[in-house]
Structures are given as structure tokens and as C-alpha cells.
Amino acid sequence: MGAFFSRERFGTPQIFAGILLLIFIGECAWLVAHEYGAIGTAEDEFVRVEEGLGQWRGMGIAGTPSIKSPLEPSSANDLYDNNHSPLWYVIAAAPVAVFRVSPDGAAWVWLTRVPYILFGALLGASLWYVSRRLYGNAGGFIALGLYCFSPAVIRGSALWAASPNGGGAWGTFGAVFTAIAVSHTLYAPREVVLWNWRRIVLLGVSLALAIGSHFALVIILPVLLAFMLYVAAERKGPALVIFVAACGVAFVLLFAAYFFHPAAFLSGLRHARFLNSTWRSATMSGAYLQLLREIAETGPVLVLLVPAALGVFIAWRRTRYFGNTAPLIVAVLFLLLRVLAPHESGAVFILSAVVFLFVFVAGIAADLLQTKARELLAAVLVGLIAANAFWDLLALARVGR
């Protein structure tokens, strides 16, 4: 127990990261506190929670015709939800199912927000942990500072006029970096599969959360396999075994989201839309303008830092290593998918892309801080991140007024 509570695990960096995450939770709570009676409960959100409650109460499987919508009992649920599994519904309804509150009170609003604020905080913690492991303390705090004061991330976690995409983004982020981590361990002189069973389970849980939250996130599977085979180039066989085992865990967990009803599970997979794209969007300028606007909404500083980091990545060979390239590849993939899916159901792509952009920017910044101009660059970075945080807090204050 003493080794677990060591200074390495719970030192000054962890304390400061915890403070930032508490501020992030406070920002989300501020929005939730000012939401009740301000913008009201969206109709689709009410349906989502009520369908999840129906599944918890044994009335059918959410997102399938077995549950009738409380708003449009004759037609709203005639078709399957081809974007989300029942996991998306049961997570939304879990706190309400436990505490049994009425949907016409403030408690209902708070309870329906709790899972997504938790997802947001856990995603921030994962972001800091991965960035710190890759780039040191500076990289970890740059990534977390951008994340905790991102208006789009805060709105998404508090569900302030936003869809609940935090679970899918956290699952995707966890799947990518767990796959990379487990591949690195394959060079250790131990029995591969048995030694990595914890990471296999973690990878499977991450995949289930991602794909269960949004079927289109299945696109991450070939990316994970490519990363694993690249990192474990001399141990491709064990890497493939681990990948298949993790997919098996995810499959079982998704089956559990259907409460182990095989007919509903097979029908849900048959109706699922795994490629949620419109190829004609690639020729539409509006799709690209929407993408730029959404990136800007994650924080004005990102409009400056992403092009600058990309320019450094192209010009400076030292920055083109796997730790920087992998998050950039995933971010570009999701940005492209957002262009091809400009409708609301593709919003999970922009959130996922932005999180990986935070990692990429942190990596390039950490590399620059190793140069002779580190003092000047540190001052510039601190100023930009502080200005971004001030802008975000000012916007939150306007919500209060």
C-alpha cells in the first residue's frame, strides 16, 4: 500500500493536475446549474433517458422497436437507432434509474449530466497521463490546460445544447493509447497474452465504450491494428492475438449492453450504420467551414497552435517520431470523417479529433521547450494558455448573467 501512495504516483504534478480537473468539473457544474429553466430539456434527451429507463426496468431494449417512445408511441421507435447501441441509452438513464427522480425537477437535470461530467473528467485525466508519459510534465500540463478550458469540451461534458459524445471520445482515446502501450510491452521476456490480460481487458472495455456510444467509431479498429503491428514489428503474431482477444472482450460487453438478448443484438448489428459518411460532403465548402468553426469553438488559441505545431512538425525532422505522428494521424482521420459527416451524428468525430490535437500540440510544444529558446517559448505558451483560460472563464461568467 505504501508503494501505491508513493511520491511518484501522488506528487506535486498530480496535485496540480487534480486542481485543474476540479476546475473543469466546476465549470461543467456552473453550466448545469444555469441550464435548468434556461434552455429546457431537449425532446431527444428526454426520449433517450426514458428509453434507457425502459431497458433498466425490463420493458425492452433501448434503440429498438421493442420500446415505444414516450413522446410518439406510434412512430418514433418504429426503426432501430442505427447510430447508437443500447449502451448509449442505459448510461444516460443509470443515475435516474437508481434515484428514481421526476423529469420535471432540477435533480433530473443534474443526474442526467453526472455520467458525462465524469466521462469528461476521466478523459482529461487520461489525456494528462498519456501526454505526461510521452512528453514529460510540460507536455502533460499543456494538453490538460488546453482541455480544461476548452468551451466545446465543457459544453459537451455538461450537455449544454450538445450531444452526449464524451463516452465515445474517452473510449476511443483509451483504445488508441492502450493498444500502443500493450504493443510496447510485447518485447518484455514474459508470456505475452497472460501477462497482458489487464491491458487486454482495458482495451476491450475502451472499444466497447467507443463503439457502443457510436457505431461509426468502429473505424478505429484498423487504425489500432496498424499501430500495434508497427510498434511490435518483431512480435506481430502476439500483437494480433491480443488485438483479437480485446475485440472479443468488446464483443461480449456490447452483447451485455443488449442485456444478452441474442435476437435484439443481431438485429441491432444488422441495422447499425458503421460508415456514417456522405462522400459528396468532401466537395462542399460548407463542410470545411463548419469544421473550422468547430475547431475554433474548442478554444481560440487552438486556431493558432495547431497550424504552428503542424508547421514545426513538417519543418523540423526531430519532431517526426511516433509519439507525435500517431495522435496526428488519428486527429486527421477524425477531421476527415467530420467533413464527410457534417450532420449532428458526426459530432463525435470533432470531439475525438480535438482531444488528439491537444496531444499533438503538447508534443510539439514539449520538443520546442528543449531548445535554446525555451524560456521565450515557455512565456509565449503560458501566455496563450492563460489567455485562452481567461476567455473561457469570461464566457462562463456571461452565462451566469
DSSP string over 2-27: TTTT-TTTSSHHHHHHHHHHHHHHHH
Its pTM stands at 0.92
26 pLDDT higher than 90: yes
Dist CA 247 CA 277 (whole Å): 24
Task: Please classify residue 376 by burial: count the beta carbons closer than 10 Å to its beta carbon, then call 0-12 exposed, 13-18 middle and 19+ buried.
Answer: exposed
Dist CA 191 CA 14 (whole Å): 32
State the cell numbers at 382: 503560458
Q: What percent of the chain has pLDDT over 90?
A: 62
338 pLDDT higher than 80: yes
Position 350 scores a pLDDT of 93
The predicted model gives 299-327 an average pLDDT of: 94
pLDDT in tens, 341-399: 888 776 899 999 999 999 999 999 999 999 999 999 999 999 999 999 999 999 888 88
Report yes or no: 198 and 243 within 8 Å, Cβ to Cβ: no
DSSP string over 315-371: H-GGG-SHHHHHHHHHHHHHHHHHHH--SGGGHHHHHHHHHHHHHHHHHHHHHHTTS
Dist CA 210 CA 181 (whole Å): 18
316 pLDDT higher than 50: yes
CA angle, residues 400, 393, 125, in degrees to nearest 5: 115
Stretch (H or E) spanning 194 = helix 192-195
Q: For residue 99, what are the contacts with CB-CB under 8 A and spacing of at least 6?
A: 107, 111
pLDDT in tens, 35-60: 755 545 566 788 889 899 999 998 88
Exposure string (b/e) for 323-344, b if CB count within 10 Å is 16 or more? bbebbbbbbebbbebbbbbbee
265 pLDDT higher than 50: yes
The predicted model gives 139-158 an average pLDDT of: 95
Position 191 scores a pLDDT of 62
How far CA 264 is from CA of 9, 218, 398, in Å, comes to 44, 19, 46
259 pLDDT higher than 50: yes
Dist CA 120 CA 140 (whole Å): 16
Of 219 and 299, the one with more pLDDT: 219
100 pLDDT higher than 90: no
Position 74 scores a pLDDT of 42
Position 131 scores a pLDDT of 97
The predicted model gives 271-299 an average pLDDT of: 85
Measured in whole angstroms, the distance separating CA 268 from the mean position of its chain's CA atoms is 23
Report yes or no: 47 and 69 within 8 Å, Cβ to Cβ: yes
1 pLDDT higher than 60: no
73 pLDDT higher than 50: no
Exposure string (b/e) for 175-197, b if CB count within 10 Å is 16 or more? bbbbbbbbbebbeeeeebeeebe
The predicted model gives 1-26 an average pLDDT of: 77
CA angle, residues 234, 239, 243, in degrees to nearest 5: 160
pLDDT in tens, 179-217: 999 998 887 666 666 677 888 999 999 999 999 999 999
10 pLDDT higher than 80: no
Give residue limits of the domains in the chain: 43-102, 119-164+276-401, 166-274
Position 8 scores a pLDDT of 53
Summary mean pLDDT of the chain? 88
